């Protein structure tokens, strides 16, 4: 056997040994990728549903740079920590100017914002808008160029997600720039999330004009949650533009206030609650309701006497709140409206305790909600401090969970917790004085529970059905029991107290 033949034989034997190892590594990499894609769809897609439904992902064959963004986002939901970020290199290395590039840049900008990388977020988003406008994605006919109904729906969703993120990002800037609102867009509206997830029968999309005319129609028509989310974001954009003006005409202010109230009043019955009869949460509808309360706080705060302190950071966690004079209501009325919006937003959080699928943009609404409650607690009496403290604790709990995945939530949690500690620490200590000589009542000599304090037991066990239903609560419970376990409310004293005359001049 020649030396070359012997060498070839040895080489062939080595290849036979190495090949299964290489194949195994390739299979492990494929399995890892599939897991990251699954994490993306399980935890992130429902908040920003622009890509095709999960069962069609592999079949769609997205470009490598878009797949890289998907796996990077999925990596943030790994229990072992997120993956190293090489995505910006992938994105910059691709010179494509396609809808897929828009989707990749858009998703990457949302991720960068969630990570507190504001400069990267704005750069990526600006590039996404550049390409989208260049392609004409704002035109209704653009999506119809695809013969695939699912792909066409994905394109419509991509434009509207650009539109929405444009407004969210503008809320954090001192100078309001809304590029997506500055073009004559007429893209049709997305379908319902359950229909899109099923993907077998995507209906003909309704038009934006039809949606805006629905209020005057003879019969009520229900549109998708995405449609109401778009309308809510449009109202938020109006608030941002109004707040950027040095002076506001009372009719302009009233028009936006009317839009906020009308949005809620014209919701169909199946869109009033964010959960269905089976307990499932509509993520997109949750965002729509959150946006409305966020917009209401931003409208009324500048014109109120509430002055929440927002941090000056390189990456803002709280929207810009300029001080403005109100051309119509007094500041007292704006106090009430801003506080009520904060209250309604915190109520949404209690309806949806799991925060795993929250959009990162919800963080900014949560911070403002907590800051309004803090500011309100400072001008209210100490009797309702429990009420405000409980709502802030609820917000802090949501941020505490979110900060495990998103650095921006970590910053928000740290700031809100620090400010809340300054406000409530002394109040809490005053409720629980530390006295060394204090002796628990149960350990003192004598009857531990006087007969008069057991009156409520006889009421509960009594079979006397003639007792009125409207029994005085104070007569049922022992003295001090209500004050110890039932928090005082603050809405009644605030609303029923003396209110200054309204100034409509």
User: Is the CB of residue 250 less than 8 Å from the CB of residue 328?
Assistant: yes
Alpha-carbon torsion (271, 343, 243, 123), positive or negative: negative
State the residue range of the domain holding 174. Answer: 27-200
User: Is the CB of residue 235 less than 8 Å from the CB of residue 295?
Assistant: yes
- Tokens (6 digits) for 122: 């704005």
- Tokens (6 digits) for 467: 């007792």
Burial class (CB in 10 A: 0-12, 13-18, 19+), 463: exposed
Q: In this structure, is residue 233 part of a structural domain? A: no
- Collapsing DSSP to helix, strand or coil, 275 comes out as strand
Rounded Cα–Cα distance for residues 390 and 385 (Å): 8
**Total structural domains within the chain:** 1
Phi, psi of 329 (to 5 degrees): -75, 160
Contacts made by residues 422-428, CB under 8 angstroms, sequence distance 24+: 423/374, 423/377, 423/378, 424/377, 424/385, 424/389, 424/392, 427/382, 427/385, 427/389, 428/389
Q: In this structure, is residue 160 part of a structural domain? A: yes
DSSP designation for 16: H
Rounded Cα–Cα distance for residues 403 and 354 (Å): 14
Q: CA neighbours within 13 Å on the CB side: how many for 183?
A: 21
Find, among 97, 98, 106, 77, the residue nearest to 87 by Cα. Answer: 106
Rounded Cα–Cα distance for residues 459 and 35 (Å): 59
Helix axes 99-114, 64-75, angle to 10 degrees: 20
Rounded Cα–Cα distance for residues 287 and 347 (Å): 14
Rounded Cα–Cα distance for residues 154 and 159 (Å): 9
pTM, rounded to two decimals: 0.81
Q: In this structure, is residue 100 part of a structural domain? A: yes
- At residue 111, the pLDDT reads 96
Strand partners, 275: 281
- At residue 444, the pLDDT reads 41
Q: In this structure, is residue 277 part of a structural domain? A: no
User: Is the CB of residue 121 less than 8 Å from the CB of residue 87?
Assistant: no
Helix (H), strand (E) at residue 46: none
User: Is the CB of residue 352 less than 8 Å from the CB of residue 286?
Assistant: yes
- Tokens (6 digits) for 406: 């998103």
Q: In this structure, is residue 131 part of a structural domain? A: yes
Q: In this structure, is residue 194 part of a structural domain? A: yes
166-to-75, 114, 299 alpha-carbon distances in Å? 25, 15, 19
Contacts of 313 (CB under 8 A, 6+ apart): 411
Contacts of 66 (CB under 8 A, 6+ apart): 100, 101, 103, 104, 107
165-to-39, 70, 291, 349 alpha-carbon distances in Å? 22, 18, 12, 22
Q: In this structure, is residue 51 part of a structural domain? A: yes
Count the neighbouring beta carbons within 10 Å of the beta carbon of residue 502.
Answer: 11
- Tokens (6 digits) for 49: 């549903």
- Collapsing DSSP to helix, strand or coil, 314 comes out as coil
- At residue 63, the pLDDT reads 95
User: Is the CB of residue 222 less than 8 Å from the CB of residue 270?
Assistant: yes
Strand partners, 281: 275
Q: In this structure, is residue 436 part of a structural domain? A: no
Rounded Cα–Cα distance for residues 217 and 136 (Å): 31
Q: Which residues of the chain, if any, have pLDDT below 50? A: 3-4, 6-8, 10-11, 17-18, 21, 436, 438-448, 451-471, 492-505
């Amino acid at each position: 056997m020649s030396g070359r033949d012997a060498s070839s034989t040895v080489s062939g034997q080595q290849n036979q040994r190495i090949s299964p190892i290489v194949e195994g590594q390739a299979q492990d990499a494929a399995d890892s990728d599939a897991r990251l894609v699954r994490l993306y769809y399980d935890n992130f897609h429902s908040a920003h549903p622009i890509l095709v439904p999960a069962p069609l992902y592999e079949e769609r064959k997205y470009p490598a740079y878009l797949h890289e963004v998907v796996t990077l986002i999925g990596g943030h939901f790994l229990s072992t920590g997120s993956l190293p970020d090489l995505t910006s290199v992938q994105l910059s290395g691709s010179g494509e100017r396609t809808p897929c590039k828009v989707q990749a840049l858009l998703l990457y900008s949302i991720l960068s914002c969630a990570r507190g990388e504001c400069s990267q977020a704005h750069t990526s988003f600006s590039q996404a808008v550049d390409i989208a406008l260049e392609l004409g994605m704002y035109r209704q006919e653009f999506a119809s160029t695809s013969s695939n109904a699912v792909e066409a729906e994905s394109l419509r969703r991509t434009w509207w997600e650009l539109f929405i993120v444009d407004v969210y990002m503008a809320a954090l800037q001192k100078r309001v720039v809304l590029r997506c609102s500055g073009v004559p867009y007429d893209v049709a509206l997305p379908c319902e999330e359950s229909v899109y997830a099923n993907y077998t029968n995507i209906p003909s999309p309704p038009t934006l004009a039809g949606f805006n005319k629905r209020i005057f129609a003879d019969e009520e028509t229900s549109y998708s949650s995405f449609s109401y989310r778009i309308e809510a974001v449009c109202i938020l954009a109006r608030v941002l533009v109004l707040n950027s003006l040095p002076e506001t005409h009372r009719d302009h202010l009233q028009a936006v206030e009317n839009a906020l109230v009308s949005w809620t009043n014209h919701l169909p019955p199946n869109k009033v609650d964010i959960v269905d009869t089976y307990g499932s949460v509509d993520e997109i509808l949750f965002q729509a309701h959150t946006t409305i309360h966020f917009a209401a706080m931003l409208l009324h705060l500048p014109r109120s006497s509430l002055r929440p302190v927002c941090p000056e950071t390189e990456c803002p966690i709280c929207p810009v709140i300029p001080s403005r004079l109100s051309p119509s209501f007094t500041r007292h009325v704006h106090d009430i409206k801003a506080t009520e919006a904060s209250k309604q937003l915190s109520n949404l959080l209690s309806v949806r305790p799991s925060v795993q699928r929250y959009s990162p943009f919800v963080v900014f609404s949560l911070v403002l909600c907590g800051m309004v409650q803090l500011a309100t607690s400072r001008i209210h009496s100490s009797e309702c401090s429990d009420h405000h403290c409980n709502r802030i604790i609820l917000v802090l709990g949501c941020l505490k969970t979110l900060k495990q995945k998103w650095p921006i939530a970590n910053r928000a949690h740290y700031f809100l917790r620090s400010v809340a500690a300054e406000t409530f620490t002394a109040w809490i200590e005053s409720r629980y004085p530390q006295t060394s000589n204090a002796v628990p009542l149960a350990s003192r000599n004598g009857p531990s529970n006087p007969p008069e304090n057991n009156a409520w037991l006889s009421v509960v066990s009594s079979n006397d059905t003639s007792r009125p239903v409207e029994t005085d609560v104070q007569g049922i419970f022992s003295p001090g029991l209500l004050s110890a376990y039932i928090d005082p409310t603050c809405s009644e004293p605030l609303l029923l107290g003396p209110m200054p005359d309204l100034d409509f001049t």
